[in-house]
């Protein structure tokens, strides 16, 4: 059930926050990708990092046979690996290729757009300022 929490008025408007809040379409798409991979290939399906920062979703996928790993070298050669909605760096893609993994890229299209724009501006010698959490896969994939 969704609750709405009242907050302090902002100017002349009142802000209502839904709790719990749903996740974005990119995350929804990534979760569906894991579910479809499980339906099509069966378990196990390996997923690099958490597909979404939501323990309930992760637990449900684990019950169906998804195995969440932090690094590509934890995945047996030749297995199926899903990249999370947060994206991955080119080094991760290369490591997966070297292990002969079948990959499913569930990166959010908006994250992919950011990756491409950063590459484009960097190629034009722009300085890039990236703000994010150090070590987070979305930051690593963008950097």
For the chain, domain boundaries? 25-142
pLDDT at 91: 92
Tokens of 121: 């501006």
Contact, 85 vs 29, CB < 8 A? yes
Q: pTM value?
A: 0.77
- Rounded to whole angstroms, the Cα distance separating 105 from 86 reads 10
Give 2-54 pLDDT, tens digit per residue. 455 555 655 677 777 766 667 778 889 999 999 999 999 999 999 999 888 78
Q: Which CATH number fits domain 25-142: 3.40.50.12280, 1.10.10.60, 3.40.50.2300, 3.40.50.11270?
A: 3.40.50.11270
* Mean pLDDT value of segment 96-122: 91
- Rounded to whole angstroms, the Cα distance separating 12 from 129 reads 35
Q: Which residues are part of the catalytic machinery?
A: 138
């Amino acid at each position: 059930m969704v609750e709405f929490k009242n907050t302090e008025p902002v100017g002349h408007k009142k802000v209502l926050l839904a709790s719990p809040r749903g996740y974005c379409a990119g995350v929804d798409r990534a979760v569906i990708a894991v579910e479809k991979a499980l339906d099509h290939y069966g378990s196990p399906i390996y997923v690099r990092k958490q597909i979404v920062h939501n323990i309930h979703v992760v637990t449900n996928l684990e019950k169906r046979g998804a195995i969440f790993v932090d690094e590509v070298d934890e995945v047996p050669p030749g297995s199926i690996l899903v990249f999370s909605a947060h994206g991955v760096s080119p080094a991760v893609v290369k490591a997966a290729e070297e292990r002969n993994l079948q990959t499913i890229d569930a990166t959010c299209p908006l994250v992919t757009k950011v990756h491409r724009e950063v590459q484009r501006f960097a190629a034009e010698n722009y300085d890039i300022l990236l703000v994010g959490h150090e070590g987070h896969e979305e930051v690593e994939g963008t950097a």
